[in-house]
């Protein structure tokens, strides 16, 4: 019996895997279907991305606890934004206003991202200076509390019984982060740790049982307004959630509302952005199928957050891929790259 070879790879070694596919790259979430939700066609400066939303359609009669663990279009959009493959439609309007208006004010101006902006990794993908970032303690709390959800055996078994294909791949997720926690860890927390920031004083109460979303948002804006008054600065709050803007108005806090982009074909995605996209998809989705390779972003005994595991469904590329990965590892070690 021929077993499917497995390799653990680092983020930069992902390019070695992509190099095995000269033509188009088809990406799917195999428990749902082998129908791809994303096709990448090599171009002169990277890849052209073709979106197929049908590749993420699943049985809506599934129990809610199963539904929330299955990747959907919203997850795809967040990964595309975090990889800088998609951008906010009104991004130019913000950048012009930020440069021409806020940066020229005599008063010191700080940027403060909402949690959704951290999930989209906008700050690290922008030209905003990291020393101008204020984060509400309640936003930090929102991210860190989302990190603590793991799969138990019952939920893994329920996931496996809900699908016919590739269901045993869910075993890799046992006692690992669920989708909510993966998104918090690999998108929002990764962004939070990347940027230098000042954290406001938290006024969120310890007992959160009876607090709804609007009250939660209220604490965020109050914390920022308190800091603005005490520091005699101006805080510009960034969000993609229209609901919180009414609270900003009530507290007279400057804000900018980013428009969420439509998920459509992308005429050009750079090589590096595409690498980041594959990493983000594999970690947020748990695992994806890329042509004849399964890429696990979350798996048993994973230690390094930037480590991936690949399973080859086509054993004919094993020897060549293994050879190239060995050469790549030697080069990385020789040149002392720090990834």
| 20 and 41 together in one domain | yes
Q: Domain of residue 289: give its range.
A: 6-86+263-335
Question: Are both 30 and 96 inside the same structural domain?
Answer: no
Instruction: Looking at the structure, tell me whether residues 220 and 304 fall in a common domain.
Output: no
The per-residue pLDDT for 207 is 64
CATH number at residue 247: 3.40.50
The answer to whether position 137 is within a domain reads yes
176 found inside a domain: no
**Last residue within a domain, chosen from 199, 224, 257:** 257
Residue 99 is predicted with a pLDDT of 78
Of 105-109, 230-234, 278-282, 286-290, the one with minimum mean pLDDT is 105-109
* pLDDT class of 128 with cuts at 50, 70, 90: confident
237, β-bridge pairs = 112, 255
* pLDDT per residue as tens digits for the range 72-83: 999 999 999 999
Residues 15 and 128 in one domain: no
Do 126 and 204 share a domain, yes or no? yes
Alpha-carbon span 54 to 51, nearest angstrom: 9
Look at residue 94 and tell me whether its pLDDT is greater than 80: yes
Q: What is the pLDDT of residue 71?
A: 96
Residues 194, 103 share a domain: yes
pLDDT at 337 over 60: no
| Mean pLDDT rounded to a whole number for the chain | 91
- The band of 229, judged by pLDDT with boundaries at 50, 70 and 90, is very high
Q: What is the mean pLDDT of residues 84-104?
A: 89
Domain boundary residue, one of 257, 278, 308: 257
Say if residue 57 is in the same domain as residue 198.
Answer: no
- Same domain membership, residue 286 and residue 239: no
Residue 161 lies in a domain: no
What pLDDT, on the 0 to 100 scale, is given for residue 328? 75
Reported pTM: 0.93
In a domain, 64, yes or no: yes
Which of 197, 229, 257 is at the close of a domain?
257
- With cut-offs at 50, 70 and 90, classify the pLDDT of residue 1: very low
**The total number of structural domains that make up the chain:** 2
Task: Specify the pLDDT at position 132.
Answer: 86
Residue 314 has pLDDT above 90, yes or no: no
């Amino acid at each position: 019996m021929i077993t499917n070879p497995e390799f653990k790879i680092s983020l930069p070694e992902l390019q070695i895997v992509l190099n095995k596919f000269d033509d188009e790259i088809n990406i799917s979430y195999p428990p749902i279907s082998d129908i791809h939700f994303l096709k990448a066609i090599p171009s002169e400066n990277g890849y052209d991305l073709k979106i197929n939303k049908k590749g993420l359609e699943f049985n809506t009669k599934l129990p809610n606890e199963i539904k929330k663990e299955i990747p959907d279009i919203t997850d795809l959009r967040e990964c595309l934004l975090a990889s800088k493959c998609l951008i906010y439609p009104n991004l130019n309007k913000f950048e012009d206003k930020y440069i021409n208006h806020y940066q020229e004010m005599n008063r010191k101006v700080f940027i403060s991202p909402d949690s959704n902006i951290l999930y989209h990794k906008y700050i690290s993908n922008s030209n905003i200076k990291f020393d101008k970032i204020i984060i509400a303690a309640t936003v930090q709390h929102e991210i860190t509390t989302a990190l603590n959800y793991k799969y138990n055996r019952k939920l893994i078994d329920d996931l496996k019984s809900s699908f016919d294909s590739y269901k045993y791949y869910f075993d890799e997720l046992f006692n690992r982060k669920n989708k909510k926690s993966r998104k918090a860890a690999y998108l929002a927390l990764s962004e939070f740790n990347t940027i230098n920031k000042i954290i406001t004083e938290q006024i969120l109460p310890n007992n959160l049982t009876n607090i709804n979303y609007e009250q939660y948002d209220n604490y965020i804006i109050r914390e920022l307004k308190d800091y603005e008054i005490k520091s005699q600065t101006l805080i510009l709050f960034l969000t993609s959630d229209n609901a919180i803007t009414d609270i900003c108005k009530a507290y007279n806090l400057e804000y900018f509302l980013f428009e969420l982009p439509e998920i459509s074909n992308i005429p050009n995605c750079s090589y590096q952005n595409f690498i980041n996209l594959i990493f983000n998809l594999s970690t947020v989705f748990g695992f994806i199928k890329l042509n004849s390779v399964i890429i696990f972003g979350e798996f048993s005994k994973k230690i390094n957050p930037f480590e991936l595991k690949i399973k080859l469904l086509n054993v004919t590329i094993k020897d060549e891929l293994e050879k190239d990965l060995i050469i790549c590892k030697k080069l990385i070690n020789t040149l002392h790259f720090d990834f």
